Amino acid sequence: MEITLWNKKVTLSKVQHKEQNQLAISFEYDPKIAELIKSLPDRKYSKTLSCWYLPYTKDHYEELLALIDEANNVEAFSKTTGTIDDTPSKDVHTGISSDHDMTEKPSVLPYQSELEAADIRESKPEKSKLSAKTSIVLNGGNFFIQTPFNPNDGNFLRSLDKSYWNTRYQNWVVKATSQNLDKLQQRFSYWNQENYLQCYTLIKEIEDPYVIELFSSPEFPNHFLLRVKGSRADYEFLKALPQRDYQAAFKRWLIPKEKSLLDRVVAHYEGDGARIINKVTLHKSDFVIETKSPEERKEFLLTKFGPALKPILAVYINSMIRMRYSWNTIKTYTGSFAGFVLHFGEEKLHLLTTSEVNDYLATIACKDVSEALLHTHINAIKYYYAKVIFRSDFKLEEVQRPKPSHTLPKLLTIQEVDRMLRSLDNLKHITMLYALYSSGIRLQELLNITINDIFWERNQILVKGGKGKKDRMVMLSQVLKEVLVYYFDNYQPKYYLFEGQDGQSQYSARSVQQVVKLAANKASITRTVTPHVLRHCFATHMLDNGTDVRYIQELLGHKDIKTTLIYTHVTNTKIESLKSPIDQLNLGNRFLKNAKE
């Protein structure tokens, strides 16, 4: 976008700088223009881009246009080529403006002498004499102000919070706040007492709206919580309710979870004009989760592989749906099997030998894929021959698997975990990290937790449908409970413990992974850290503290104790008590002696 300033072209463009969007300001060097740009509070100069720039926001954009328009108008009273957002239609407003109507459009913009770096926010503007041409209209959360040119008035209006000059309509737009209202009245004495009170009431409704929050917390399974917000908050009704209690620390009410009471509260406050935010679920049926059926999921998955593979993949997927495989397994197996079909062709699958399958797996292994991915390909192929077409002559036992490796789980020290847990400021993200580390649950198990799965008094969390479709109980630590008290008060989840942005679906698994990665970076941990690493840390640190490995097996949901025993190879409980034979030789004194000499 090009703008004319003092008959010279100034180019505005969106650029990526320092990993953020910036508003670049380019012009043929002119000291007068440079001084003008320097008067902007957030401006910076980039040697890399050889230009000035501002944060790429609407407020900064409008402030820049207003400044340029002002400078042009002071010298030549001409308009810029750029425009900004339109104001609402003049015939749609509150009607609270005064009797001073505009008889003609003002032609003078606000003025700041020589554009010097004077702090107009601290200066006390002179009282201006009210002109018959001044108009102030409250509409849609903003004041729209038209007034004849006066340098002091211009500086005063520029100093107001979130104000800018609208080029198209030649008026000032000022955020409608009680503070701005008070300043405008002090300067212009525009409204009479009745109209001023009307404006004040409307603005307070915008600034501090009348809202009722209804939500649940596992801390109070037999009650629902209620918070009243707004300038018109009514508490007398709540005081008359039976068995209610007030929690002053959280500024909320505790009310028995009865449908009749809930309906009574909602009806009262709806009649009083309050906005109701109801997140109370008395029964599971109150929360409707829109999920795709298996058939819809299957059709969506098939669209990723093209029409040629659709018939055979449909048969393959139907078999896994009948066997009640998890959808993650279905997606993973289908992807691997689709590659197998493309390699040999559908018509040849019934004739393949185990030797040919092993040759195919060798080509996959040559691509330097992980051992886990290679096992996935093998499982997907074996499932087809064992469960889909039932080829009795296909010798499954001859399909070769990679040689088992013995890798130790990735770990963090307790000090590193502590730094991670302290590194974040977002309460929701903090709660996720606490939940992962305090209970050792898997990522998907974390996302599946609902409010009703938390047993507050028993200090337990029910993990439903874990790996292998097994339910189990894990611990609810006291530290996590303290965090959850504030989490439920701030985020008020309705069904899932961690909800997505729509308030209905689960939180994204990818987002949790990014949260863990961010915490590790902030904690200056250079190794790769994932949610599963925190699970390994939980098991190992529990073992370090002397917890019996069989209890750890139950908490982790391992089917075989051998899976849990891998943590005995990384625990330092016994290693710390052992001494190396070299320690008995006392060789350290030799170097100490040489150092003294």
% of residues, the chain, pLDDT over 90 = 45
Phi, psi for 371 (deg, rounded to 5) = -65, -35
Q: How many CB atoms lie within 10 A of CB 138?
A: 23
Sorted by sequence, the CB contacts under 8 Å of residue 21 that are 6+ apart come out as 14, 15, 56
- Tens-digit pLDDT profile for residues 479-511: 999 999 999 999 999 999 999 888 888 899 999
Q: Cβ distance 256 to 218 under 8 Å?
A: no
* Nearest-10 crossing angle of helices 509-522, 531-544: 60
Sheet order of strands, 135-139 included: 135-139, 142-146, 171-175, 163-166
- Tens-digit pLDDT profile for residues 331-345: 999 999 999 999 999
pLDDT number for residue 253: 94
Active-site residue, selected from the candidate residues 391, 419, 442, 522: 442
**Is 53 considered catalytic here?**
no
Q: How many CB atoms lie within 10 A of CB 411?
A: 18
108 vs 132: CA distance, rounded Å: 16
pLDDT number for residue 590: 55
**Is 558 considered catalytic here?**
yes
β-pairing verdict for 135-139 and 142-146: antiparallel
pLDDT number for residue 572: 63
**Is 58 considered catalytic here?**
no
Element (H, E) at 138: strand 135-139
Whether pLDDT at 98 is above 50? no
Q: Cβ distance 507 to 448 under 8 Å?
A: no
Whether pLDDT at 468 is above 60? yes
**Is 467 considered catalytic here?**
yes
Active-site residue, selected from the candidate residues 229, 467, 481, 517: 467
pLDDT, average across residues 10-30: 83
pLDDT, average across residues 394-400: 86
**Is 535 considered catalytic here?**
yes
Q: How far is CA 82 from CA 2, 28, 37, 85, 350, in A?
A: 8, 19, 17, 10, 69
DSSP letter string over 241-306?
Answer: STT-EEETTTTEEEEE--HHHHHHHHHHHHHTTPEEEE---SSGGGS------HHHHHHHHHTTT-
Phi, psi for 4 (deg, rounded to 5) = -95, 125
121 vs 421: CA distance, rounded Å: 41
Q: Cβ distance 378 to 387 under 8 Å?
A: no
pLDDT number for residue 233: 85
The DSSP symbol for 194 reads: H
Q: Cβ distance 280 to 214 under 8 Å?
A: yes
Whether pLDDT at 526 is above 80? yes
One-letter amino acid for residue 181 of the chain = L
Q: How does residue 89 score in pLDDT terms, banded at 50, 70 and 90? A: very low
Active-site residue, selected from the candidate residues 187, 279, 535, 541: 535
Element (H, E) at 31: helix 31-38
**Is 567 considered catalytic here?**
yes
Sorted by sequence, the CB contacts under 8 Å of residue 86 that are 6+ apart come out as 166, 168, 169
Q: Cβ distance 306 to 294 under 8 Å?
A: no
pLDDT number for residue 85: 37
Residue identified by tokens 């499932």 is 383
Total count of residues recorded for the chain: 597
Q: Cβ distance 387 to 323 under 8 Å?
A: yes
Whether pLDDT at 559 is above 80? yes
Cα-to-chain-centroid distance, residue 501: 8
- Tens-digit pLDDT profile for residues 65-81: 888 877 776 554 333 33
pLDDT number for residue 587: 62
The pTM (predicted TM-score) of the whole model is 0.65
pLDDT number for residue 465: 80
Burial category of 455 from C-beta neighbours within 10 Å (exposed 0-12, middle 13-18, buried 19 and up): middle
Cα-to-chain-centroid distance, residue 467: 27
pLDDT number for residue 249: 92
183 vs 323: CA distance, rounded Å: 71
Q: Cβ distance 171 to 91 under 8 Å?
A: no
216 vs 235: CA distance, rounded Å: 20
- Among 84, 24, 20, smallest CA distance to 49 is for 24
Question: Which pair of tokens denotes residue 565?
Answer: 């025993």
- Among 521, 516, 499, smallest CA distance to 508 is for 499
Sorted by sequence, the CB contacts under 8 Å of residue 268 that are 6+ apart come out as 237
Mean of the per-residue pLDDT values for the chain?
A: 82
- Tens-digit pLDDT profile for residues 149-164: 888 888 999 999 999 9
Whether pLDDT at 117 is above 60? no
Q: How many CB atoms lie within 10 A of CB 9?
A: 12
